[in-house]
A and B are shown apart, each in its own frame.
Chain A
Amino acid sequence: MKARVLNRDDVLKIVDLLRQQGYDVIAPFRERGRDTFFDTVTDQNRDQIQIHLPNPYYPPKRFVFPPIERLLKVDRSNGDLRIVPTYDVQKRAIFGIRSCDVAGIYHLDRFYLGREFPDIYYQNHRKNLFLVNVACTDPDLDIGNECFCMCTDTGPAAREHFDLQLFDLQRDEFMAVAGTPAGEALFVSPIFRKGSPQHVARRRKILEEVRKRFKPETTSWFSAAIQMVSRGEVSEETWEKIGNRCLECGGCTYVCPACTCFTVTDRAVEANGVERLRIWDSCALGGFTRMAGGFNPRRAIHDRRNRRFFRKLAHYFIQRELSMACVGCGRCAAVCHGDIGMPTVVEMIRHSTAQGKEA
Chain B
Amino acid sequence: MTQALFGQLLVGLINGSFYALLSLGLAIIFGLLDVVNFAHGAQYMMGAFAAWMGLQYLGIGYWWALLLAPAAMGVLGAAVERLLLRRLRGLDPLYGLLLTFGLTLIAEGLFHQAYGNSGYSYPVPAALRGGVNLGFMYLPLYRAWVVAVSLVVCTASWFVIERTRLGAYLRAGTENPRLLQAFGVNVPLMFTLTYGFGVALAAFTGVMAAPVYQVTPLMGSSLIIVVFAVVVIGGMGSIAGSIVTGLGLGVVEGLTRYLYPEASSVVIFVIMALVLLVRPAGLFGRQR
The judgment on whether A and B are partners is no
B residues lining the A interface (CB < 8 Å): none
Q: Which residues of A contact B (CB under 8 A)?
A: none
